[in-house]
A and B are shown apart, each in its own frame.
Chain A
Amino acid sequence: MNIEQTRRLSEKQFAIMFAALCGLLVVGGIVIHNLAVYGHAAFNLDNRGLFWGLPIIVYDYFLLTSTGLAMIAALAIVFNAEEFRPVLKRAVWLALAGLVGGVAVLMLELGHPLRALWAIPFSFAFSSPLYWKVMAVSFYVVSLLLLLWRLLTPGWTMPALRTHALITLVLAFAVTAIAGVVYGSQSFRPFWASGDIPVAFFFESLLGGLAFIYFFSYLGYAFNPALMPDNLRRLFDERMPALLSLAIFIHLLFVLARLTSGLYGNLEGLQVWQHLARSPLLYLELFVGLLLPLVLLMLPATRTRPWAQILASLLVMNALLIARFEYIIGGQLVPLFKGAWAPDLLHYAPSATEWLLLLVAIFLSNAVNAFGEMRLHLGQEA
């Protein structure tokens, strides 16, 4: 890339950041207004059984994407995979950007967000998965920031960063696994409860991380593959399609295994699977969100095509959001001891404010990411 191209790219990144900030201002303003006027009644949640809705889905989605990105970057460093060098800085910065978006939404969802800042760390509530999740996230952020700082320091080498990357990897894995335990440990909610949820979350995170690396790298070059350095193109054409395909395949296995056993199971709570099997969302996720990208990435005719890679990553990103929605909502659809005035299965459609919170996370993360592309030159190797 020559100086002129770099300048133009920088302008485009500024435009993205500006657009994202404008979007954030508008959407965030409406959300704050709605929350100020209606409080949490602006959410479509109620005491019949739906306690965690779209805001928690968005938070977990962004959090797990963040850990996926961090784990990929850390794994590459630990295993000295030099071919990943062109995406390392971007992956780590994106992990932070995603986390900012997710945590912002969480803060708007909690009843007392500021109290949470002291009440959780100083509670020493060792029995609570949420306590451990918050502690793990705190250490994870610190480790990620330090790793970024070292990646931005010229002359870094993978062997020199190995120990640090290993710590980041362990912390990212801990966050991911504990996020799985939060749901998987609820044994009386069979739709959620399973010992393999932390493992499923781990693979989902990796899948999300790979898809985000693809999509946001293209975005970093304003969707112009000609501007991409050779080593990045090589990575995207040789190693990444196989990795992303494998991640999709493993995720599909988890989804199909749970779906089949859920459909045949008779345990109270598993009837949610019957409900899901009748919803078009599940088929959208399976066929359009997962199988289509798998085909695109496996066919020799398409797997190295930028449009196919962008489309595949975009579809996977959406499929994961649907999967997170179905999982978190599905576990709450059977009302517990609410009597005849509650239906057999609850119905949940997010309110306008909840949808806007998704946009808050998207705009905020994109603004932070574009800032990084502009000021930290994420595409350039230090």
Chain B
Amino acid sequence: MAKWGMVIDLDTCTGCQACTTACTMENSRLPGESWQDVLFYHEGTYPNVKLMWFPRPCMHCENPSCVTVCPTKATYKDPEGGFVLMDYNRCIGCKYCQIACPYGVRFSMDERAFVKPDIRQVFPSGDGRQWNPPYQAPQDDPGRGIGIQPHGVVSKCTFCYHKVSQAPAGVADLDEDVPELKEYVPACVRVCPPKARFFGDLDQPQSTVNRLIADKRGVRLKDETGNKPQVYYLSGGATAAVPSLRSMAAATVPTGPFSPPQRAPDTGAIAAHSADWTADQA
């Protein structure tokens, strides 16, 4: 029984978003439904400012708070590999799992269109699903949250269950450079141009993922939550780092009657971007 895990090397990642695109294509996701995303943020204020980025799929936590809170067991931890999956047929759309995920990686796509035109209207589905894109991958397993979801449910990254679960038993690493294994490699890992992503069995001590975690001191995002992600980040400090939430924010802490005086950050472009988004929603 494997416990699949991912290692993302932040020193190698170039923030190219190939993983995001591959995930969206592989899994037929909607705009804004970024099961995998690269988050851009900056640290410091002009002139000492650094642009940083941070790739973020679902962490497939060992102790997933989304699973703990789900009142219907629609989201569950698969004991055969440690995937955290969704059963679209059980989900009632209460969104408690979205509330309870510290990493913001669950999506409910019944909200307003993220970008115009609303692609759901352009390619409407006749069978109650969110949409029916002209090009879509053939895999469809609603009991595992694979394929295009119906309305009223929450969706999330599957760790490419449809690929990984087909891998030969006992394999330690799923490496896209090994021809006989490449079809089993998660889409975001397989396309990563600088090879910043690795996928393997965390239960096998000799796996590359375990070696990387040990040699390069892999860390887990927000480990204090107790969720124990199965995604590890490597960061030698050269470029990106595992961020805190506050450093992800577009602006700094708001000034209020009780907060210390601060310099106004240069967030014009970002503020304009979010204003656009809000205006678009209005």
State the A residues within 8 Å of B (CB): 39-41, 43-47, 49, 51-52, 110-113, 115-116, 119-120, 123-125, 127-131, 134, 182, 186-189, 263-264, 268-269, 271, 273-275, 277-278, 332, 334-345, 347
CB distance from B46 to the nearest CB of A (A): 15
B111 touches A41 (CB 8 A): yes
* Partner pick for B253 among A129, A186, A271, CB 8 A cutoff: A271
By a CB distance below 8 angstroms, the chain B residues around A52 are 95, 99
| Complex: chain A residue closest to B245, CB-CB | A268
B99 touches A340 (CB 8 A): no
Say yes or no: is B204 at the interface (Cβ < 8 Å to chain A): no
A41 touches B72 (CB 8 A): no
How far apart sit A128 and B97, CA to CA, in the bound complex (Å)? 10
| Complex: chain A residue closest to B265, CB-CB | A344
Given the interface pairs A125-B73, A131-B71, the reply to whether A337 lies near B91 with Cβ below 8 Å is: no
How far apart sit A189 and B258, CA to CA, in the bound complex (Å)? 20
A111 touches B91 (CB 8 A): yes
- The 8 A CB mask of B172-208 against A (1 = contact, 0 = none) is 0000000000000000000000000000000000000
| Complex: chain A residue closest to B253, CB-CB | A271
* Partner pick for B73 among A41, A123, A269, CB 8 A cutoff: A123
How far apart sit A52 and B245, CA to CA, in the bound complex (Å)? 21
CB distance from A323 to the nearest CB of B (A): 19
Most A Cβ at <10 Å: residue of B72, B114, B259: B72
How far apart sit A313 and B41, CA to CA, in the bound complex (Å)? 48
How far apart sit A277 and B270, CA to CA, in the bound complex (Å)? 25
B245 touches A336 (CB 8 A): yes
How far apart sit A116 and B151, CA to CA, in the bound complex (Å)? 15
Say yes or no: is B249 at the interface (Cβ < 8 Å to chain A): yes
By a CB distance below 8 angstroms, the chain B residues around A125 are 70-73
Among all A-B residue pairs, the 5 with the closest Cβ atoms: A111-B93, A111-B152, A274-B256, A339-B39, A344-B249
A39 touches B110 (CB 8 A): yes
B94 touches A41 (CB 8 A): no
By a CB distance below 8 angstroms, the chain B residues around A110 are 92-94, 152
B99 touches A332 (CB 8 A): yes
B110 touches A40 (CB 8 A): yes
CB distance from A241 to the nearest CB of B (A): 34
By a CB distance below 8 angstroms, the chain B residues around A339 are 37-41, 54, 248
Interface SS of chain B:
loop
15 further interface pairs, Cβ-Cβ under 8 Å (given A271-B253, A278-B257) = A41-B111, A41-B113, A44-B281, A46-B112, A49-B104, A112-B93, A119-B71, A186-B100, A271-B259, A334-B245, A336-B245, A337-B54, A337-B105, A340-B41, A344-B250
B256 touches A186 (CB 8 A): no
A343 touches B271 (CB 8 A): yes
CB distance from A349 to the nearest CB of B (A): 10
Most B Cβ at <10 Å: residue of A44, A334, A341: A341
A340 touches B92 (CB 8 A): no
A119 touches B74 (CB 8 A): yes
A111 touches B111 (CB 8 A): no
By a CB distance below 8 angstroms, the chain A residues around B96 are 128, 130, 182
B104 touches A335 (CB 8 A): yes
By a CB distance below 8 angstroms, the chain B residues around A278 are 256-257
Report 18 cross-chain contacts, Cβ distance below 8 Å, ordered by A residue: A39-B151, A41-B112, A45-B111, A52-B99, A110-B92, A119-B90, A125-B73, A127-B69, A188-B102, A263-B256, A275-B254, A277-B258, A332-B99, A335-B249, A340-B41, A340-B248, A341-B40, A343-B274
By a CB distance below 8 angstroms, the chain B residues around A273 are 256
* Partner pick for B40 among A334, A340, A347, CB 8 A cutoff: A340
* Partner pick for A123 among B90, B152, B257, CB 8 A cutoff: B90
Say yes or no: is B168 at the interface (Cβ < 8 Å to chain A): no
By a CB distance below 8 angstroms, the chain A residues around B253 are 271, 274, 344
CB distance from A342 to the nearest CB of B (A): 7
- The 8 A CB mask of B57-78 against A (1 = contact, 0 = none) is 0000000000111111110000
Say yes or no: is B213 at the interface (Cβ < 8 Å to chain A): no
Say yes or no: is B33 at the interface (Cβ < 8 Å to chain A): yes
CB distance from B109 to the nearest CB of A (A): 8
Most A Cβ at <10 Å: residue of B54, B244, B246: B246
By a CB distance below 8 angstroms, the chain A residues around B144 are none
A338 touches B248 (CB 8 A): yes
Q: Which of B89-137 contact A (CB under 8 A)?
A: 90-96, 98-105, 107-114
CB distance from A16 to the nearest CB of B (A): 33
CB distance from B271 to the nearest CB of A (A): 7
How far apart sit A182 and B257, CA to CA, in the bound complex (Å)? 31
CB distance from B116 to the nearest CB of A (A): 13
Say yes or no: is B216 at the interface (Cβ < 8 Å to chain A): no
Say yes or no: is B225 at the interface (Cβ < 8 Å to chain A): yes
CB distance from A59 to the nearest CB of B (A): 11
Given the interface pairs A39-B110, A41-B112, the reply to whether A112 lies near B152 with Cβ below 8 Å is: yes
Say yes or no: is B32 at the interface (Cβ < 8 Å to chain A): yes
CB distance from B31 to the nearest CB of A (A): 11
Q: Which of B258-280 contact A (CB under 8 A)?
A: 258-259, 270-271, 273-274, 277-278
How far apart sit A124 and B91, CA to CA, in the bound complex (Å)? 14
Given the interface pairs A268-B245, A336-B245, the reply to whether A130 lies near B69 with Cβ below 8 Å is: yes
By a CB distance below 8 angstroms, the chain B residues around A131 are 71-72
By a CB distance below 8 angstroms, the chain A residues around B254 are 271, 274-275, 344-345
Say yes or no: is B3 at the interface (Cβ < 8 Å to chain A): no
A111 touches B151 (CB 8 A): yes
A336 touches B103 (CB 8 A): yes
Say yes or no: is B162 at the interface (Cβ < 8 Å to chain A): no
How far apart sit A271 and B92, CA to CA, in the bound complex (Å)? 32
